[in-house]
């Protein structure tokens, strides 16, 4: 132990700490200065940045014995507070710098370090600083953060005032369509927001800390689990195995399609008979401290019989492959698509055909915050699980039977989540927390380190796609033939649905009249498939939007023009035979055209043999909703102070708060309520109706409509015969109910049939993407110089949130195209190895052009937004590489060595 005198945020503090402890842990665990976040814990994300004697340091890798006696430390808590924001914090809120907000404290502290030394930085100075200090963000694409620093610097230099910078209410008092900062922003930028680990640290004394005993192999039979030595270790309260699970010990995917050959009960909470993938939980140690729990976990002896591990779809599909889940074939689901007539005759007579094979990798989500949660019994003896769940009611149903608890005795709450991008559509640790809390009858917390977070949460499922297009001599598409295999890992939940997405999105955007194809879901021993932004579409568009360029090349036609003549027009239908809700693609292409020509021109001029420049385009489409008649419910209540809106609109970081607030405010315009009079109660199954999960960009449409409906019901009740509105007091006096349920169902939808024909979504989003790249022909490295987005996401609720979604989605598209992967279990275990884009990997120029076609079925004309930018932005980049170099990458990511190999061919 060392005793140090420190000055932390201007306060003299004496701290006794283990000399090997990190400064971050000391600040967080001992001083509860939880504004400093620990993301990767390896110095790769900068979430833990603090100023140490004025210098930016990553506190997670700064050991206490390296902190000088008497050192001055500034954390986010020392920079400003909700009542007195620092200009950087103000600027962060007005530029939408905080989406999930987990990285915000680190970025702001780092930026403070920059402005303290360089009061007038250029944008490049800011970008260099972020890059140098490894400040990573997964939500924003960095541009809003650079904007924020530049404007804060102006305030600090006195060139503008805080008032100039602050958001101003529009004259009409409508916030719909404005840049009203999200309500949660202030707490996020001041370090006040407590994420799961922070809440865990602030749990009552006596809370037990959990550690998992996990499989270090990918496929094995469990022979025995010996917990005896672990049970005797210091601080251990209990070692929990499958024998302690009261229920079925299985997580169910619930909505398994009837033709699925599995029953959906394939995922154990705690492994009993078999290990299905690396990291599978075999036991849980509950102990007084995390360190004691982990030490004891190492002492649990698991005896295994190793089995062949099938680490990809083709391996698991091999004839001699054993059934991973005995009794269920590894190919457990098949989805046909059949639209129009047979394709074989059309293909044989087509003027042009192209065919290729594509592979889109197992993209990791790389959230800044690793997975975390806690559980306890609440005041009504409900087992209460707080996690990053983006489907609180969904997960409630998925884990309840496995735990063996009555549904009314289970409560799920979403913590502020430091990014999910979909991985939390699957339960991760919820059931483990529940099992543990039930076994020890004490509050418990569980926190994954980044290794666990990467290796033991779901990933985007790779697609192996074979695709063939046939076109007439003008380039008009006549037919498409598709075959796709989905490596869904060992657990089936939503695997059938994902496979259907292939049918829905391969070739989407074009009114191709004849389609035949077959997709299949394959059980493997690699990471289980979970949702990821644009679920199923990046894989689909990678094939079809790449092949469109191949077709254009073959035809000698401009790729944009080929798209232009094929995109949806009146009379066209989607691959599922649905009439598109709007027809904006063609118009967007027309608007892009001059920019595209300029870009082409510029590239041509800028290219040289060592730096080749190119331009690529792609189109992207995504449906807003769960397939078929998706539904949502909310509650709204008139109160003395305004209204209370209760909804389970879970937040990844995308802005559920501003989504709900903006919609509700618009819905209540007639009574001229102020935004801060709308109190949001969110994401607690004990308090809010079932608004459905936050996936598939459904919430703005489906829950947005439910909110609109609730507002209408309330307004109807408040409306007087003369058209004016009753006050709260008048409502009470007249004994008129104050609380209303708002509900909406996408009743215009029909689920897809066995041929994948149907009208699955009520609203779609449409985009056209253009990437400009430079390929270094010596290294094979691709740099995205500029990115242009045309987006029709309907009427825009909140411009900051929508901009942020698009910037962030494009940045993820860049990662998907060029660097990101989770394939090698030994190598792909941290942010850098997994290819996370840092500031300078994302261009400072991402131009967004909105085409706001109002949607009939969207509330106030809105569609969703989150999935759109990642549908096919990666393909624009891949097409640009081909444009620059002639190298066609069909297996992602386009790592330098692959490009280089192509160049050498």
Which residues form the catalytic set?
867
Residues 313 and 485 sit within 8 Å (Cβ to Cβ): yes
Q: Which residues contact 686 (CB under 8 A, 6 or more apart)?
A: 378, 382, 384, 411, 413
Beta carbon of residue 294, minimum distance to a copy of itself (angstroms, whole number): 12
DSSP 744: E
CA dist 165 and 172 (Å) reads 20
Q: Render the burial of 474-487: b for 16+ CB within 10 Å, e for the rest.
A: ebbbbbbbbbbbbb
Scan for tokens 């941290």, then name that residue: 830
* CB closer to a copy of itself out of 375 and 851: 375
**308 to 279, 304, 525: CA distances (angstroms):** 16, 13, 9
CA dist 872 and 112 (Å) reads 36
Q: Residue 336: which of 575, 626, 621, 580 has the closest Cα?
A: 575
Residues 29 and 12 sit within 8 Å (Cβ to Cβ): no
CA dist 625 and 694 (Å) reads 9
Beta carbon of residue 98, minimum distance to a copy of itself (angstroms, whole number): 14
Residues 128 and 149 sit within 8 Å (Cβ to Cβ): no
Beta carbon of residue 198, minimum distance to a copy of itself (angstroms, whole number): 10
Q: How many residues does the chain have?
A: 905
Beta carbon of residue 643, minimum distance to a copy of itself (angstroms, whole number): 16
Rg (CA), the chain: 27
Partner residues linked to 412 by β-bridges: 385
Beta carbon of residue 675, minimum distance to a copy of itself (angstroms, whole number): 16
Q: Which residues contact 388 (CB under 8 A, 6 or more apart)?
A: 196, 369, 371, 372, 373, 414, 415, 417, 418, 420, 424, 428
Residues 226 and 219 sit within 8 Å (Cβ to Cβ): no
Report the 10 Å Cβ neighbour count for 206. Answer: 8
Q: Residue 593: which of 624, 562, 628 has the closest Cα?
A: 562
Beta carbon of residue 82, minimum distance to a copy of itself (angstroms, whole number): 5
* CB closer to a copy of itself out of 383 and 552: 383
Scan for tokens 């954390």, then name that residue: 75
- Contacting residues toward a copy of itself, per CB under 8 A: 1-3, 10-19, 21, 26, 29-32, 65, 81-83, 187, 190, 192, 194, 199, 202-206, 234-235, 237, 288-292, 374, 376-379, 384, 386, 413, 443
SS3 714: helix
Residues 554 and 353 sit within 8 Å (Cβ to Cβ): no
* CB closer to a copy of itself out of 233 and 756: 233
Residues 771 and 873 sit within 8 Å (Cβ to Cβ): yes
CA dist 510 and 564 (Å) reads 9
Beta carbon of residue 624, minimum distance to a copy of itself (angstroms, whole number): 30
Beta carbon of residue 289, minimum distance to a copy of itself (angstroms, whole number): 5
Q: Residue 591: which of 883, 852, 773 has the closest Cα?
A: 852
SS3 885: helix
Q: Which residues contact 140 (CB under 8 A, 6 or more apart)?
A: 96, 97, 99, 804, 807, 808, 811
Partner residues linked to 759 by β-bridges: 750
Beta carbon of residue 16, minimum distance to a copy of itself (angstroms, whole number): 6
Residues 28 and 105 sit within 8 Å (Cβ to Cβ): no
Q: Which tokens is 505 given?
A: 């999105």
Q: Which tokens is 13 given?
A: 């503090």
Cα dihedral 267, 271, 273, 279 in deg (nearest 10): 90
* CB closer to a copy of itself out of 414 and 885: 414
Q: What is the DSSP string of 370-398?
A: PPEEEEEE-TT--EEEEE--S-HHHHHHH
Q: How are the residues of the chain apportioned to helix, strand and coil, as percentages rounded to the nearest 5?
A: 35, 25, 45
Q: Residue 275: which of 211, 212, 330, 214 has the closest Cα?
A: 214
Beta carbon of residue 245, minimum distance to a copy of itself (angstroms, whole number): 22
Beta carbon of residue 204, minimum distance to a copy of itself (angstroms, whole number): 5
* CB closer to a copy of itself out of 217 and 289: 289
* CB closer to a copy of itself out of 203 and 715: 203
Beta carbon of residue 690, minimum distance to a copy of itself (angstroms, whole number): 20
Scan for tokens 């657990």, then name that residue: 491
* CB closer to a copy of itself out of 30 and 741: 30
Q: Which tokens is 816 given?
A: 């998907």
Beta carbon of residue 435, minimum distance to a copy of itself (angstroms, whole number): 18
Report the 10 Å Cβ neighbour count for 826. Answer: 6
CA dist 681 and 707 (Å) reads 13
Strand order in the sheet with 301-306: 274-275, 220-226, 301-306
């Amino acid at each position: 132990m060392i005793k140090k005198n420190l000055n932390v945020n201007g306060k003299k503090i004496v701290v006794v700490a283990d000399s090997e402890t990190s400064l971050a842990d000391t600040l967080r665990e001992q001083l509860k200065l939880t504004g400093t976040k620990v993301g990767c814990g390896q110095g790769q994300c900068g979430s833990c940045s603090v100023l140490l004697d004025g210098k930016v340091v990553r506190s997670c890798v700064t050991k206490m014995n390296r902190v000088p006696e008497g050192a001055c430390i500034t954390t986010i808590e020392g920079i400003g507070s909700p009542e007195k924001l620092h200009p950087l914090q103000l600027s962060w809120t007005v530029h939408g710098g905080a989406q999930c907000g987990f990285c915000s404290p680190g970025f702001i502290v780092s930026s403070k370090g920059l402005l303290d030394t360089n009061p007038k930085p250029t944008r490049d100075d800011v970008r260099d600083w972020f890059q140098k200090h490894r400040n990573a963000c997964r939500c924003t694409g960095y541009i809003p953060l650079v904007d924020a620093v530049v404007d804060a610097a102006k305030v600090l230099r006195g060139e503008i005032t805080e008032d100039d910078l602050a958001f101003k209410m529009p004259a009409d008092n409508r916030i719909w369509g404005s840049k009203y900062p999200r309500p949660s922003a202030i707490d996020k930028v001041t370090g006040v927001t407590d994420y799961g680990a922070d809440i865990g640290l602030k749990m009552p004394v006596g809370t037990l800390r959990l550690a998992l005993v996990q499989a270090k192999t990918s496929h094995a039979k469990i022979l025995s689990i010996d917990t005896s030595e672990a049970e005797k270790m210091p601080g251990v309260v209990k070692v929990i195995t499958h024998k302690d699970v009261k229920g079925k010990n299985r997580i169910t995917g619930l909505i398994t399609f009837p033709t699925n050959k599995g029953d959906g009960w394939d995922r154990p909470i705690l492994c009993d008979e078999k290990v299905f993938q690396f990291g599978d939980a075999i036991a849980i140690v509950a102990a007084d401290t995390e360190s004691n729990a982990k030490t004891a976990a190492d002492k649990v002896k698991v005896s295994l019989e190793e089995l062949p591990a099938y680490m990809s779809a083709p391996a698991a599909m091999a004839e001699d492959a054993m059934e991973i889940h005995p009794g269920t074939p590894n190919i457990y689901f098949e989805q046909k698509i059949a639209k129009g007539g047979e394709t074989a005759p059309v293909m044989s007579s087509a003027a042009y055909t192209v065919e290729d094979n594509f592979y889109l990798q197992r993209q990791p989500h790389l959230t800044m915050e690793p997975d975390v949660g806690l559980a306890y019994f609440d005041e009504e003896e409900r087992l209460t699980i707080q996690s990053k769940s983006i489907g609180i009611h969904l997960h409630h149903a998925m884990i309840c039977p496995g735990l063996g608890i009555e549904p009314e005795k289970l409560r799920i709450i979403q913590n502020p989540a430091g990014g999910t991008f979909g991985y939390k559509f699957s339960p991760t640790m919820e059931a483990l927390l529940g099992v543990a809390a039930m076994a020890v009858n004490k509050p418990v917390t569980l926190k994954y380190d980044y290794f666990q977070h990467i290796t033991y949460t779901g990933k985007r499922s790779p697609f192996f796609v074979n695709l063939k297009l046939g076109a007439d001599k003008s380039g008009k598409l006549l037919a498409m033939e598709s075959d796709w295999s989905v490596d869904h890992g060992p657990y089936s939940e939503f695997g059938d649905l994902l496979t259907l997405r292939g049918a829905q999105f391969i070739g989407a955007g074009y009114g191709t009249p004849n389609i035949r194809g077959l997709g299949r879901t394959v059980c493997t021993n690699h990471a289980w498939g979970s949702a990821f932004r644009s679920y199923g579409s990046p894989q689909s568009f990678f094939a079809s939007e790449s092949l469109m360029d191949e077709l254009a090349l073959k035809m000698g036609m401009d790729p944009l023009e080929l798209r232009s003549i094929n995109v949806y027009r009146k009379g066209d239908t989607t691959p599922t035979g649905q009439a598109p809700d709007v027809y904006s693609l063609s118009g967007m292409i027309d608007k892009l055209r001059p920019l595209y020509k300029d870009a082409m021109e510029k590239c041509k001029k800028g290219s040289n043999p060592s730096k080749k420049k190119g331009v690529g385009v792609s189109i992207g489409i995504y449906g807003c909703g769960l397939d078929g008649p998706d539904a949502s419910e909310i509650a709204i209540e008139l109160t003395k102070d305004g209204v209370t809106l209760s909804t389970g609109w879970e937040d990844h970081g995308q802005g559920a708060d501003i989504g709900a607030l903006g919609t509700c405010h618009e819905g209540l315009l007639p009574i001229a309520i102020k935004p801060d009079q709308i109190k949001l109660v969110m994401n607690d199954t004990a308090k809010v109706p079932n608004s459905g999960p936050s996936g598939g960009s459904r919430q703005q449409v489906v829950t947005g409509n439910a909110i609109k409906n609730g507002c209408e019901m309330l307004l109807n009740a408040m409306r007087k015969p003369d058209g004016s509105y009753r006050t709260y007091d008048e409502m009470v006096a007249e004994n008129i109910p104050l609380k209303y349920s708002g509900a909406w169902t996408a009743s215009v939808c029909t689920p897809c049939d066995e041929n994948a024909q149907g009208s699955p979504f009520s609203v779609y989003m449409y985009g056209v993407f253009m990437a400009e790249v430079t390929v270094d022909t010596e290294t094979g490295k691709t740099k995205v110089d500029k990115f242009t987005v045309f987006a029709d996401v309907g009427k825009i609720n909140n411009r900051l949130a929508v901009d942020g979604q698009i910037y962030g989605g494009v940045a993820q598209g860049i990662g998907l195209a060029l660097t990101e992967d989770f394939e090698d279990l030994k190598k792909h275990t941290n942010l850098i190895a997994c290819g996370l884009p840092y500031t300078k990997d994302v261009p400072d120029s991402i131009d967004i052009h909105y085409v706001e076609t109002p949607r009939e079925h969207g509330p106030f004309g809105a569609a969703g937004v989150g999935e759109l930018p990642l549908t096919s932005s990666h393909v624009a980049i891949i097409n640009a590489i081909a444009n620059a170099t002639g190298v066609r990458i069909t297996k992602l990511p386009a790592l330098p060595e692959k490009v280089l190999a192509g160049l050498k061919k």
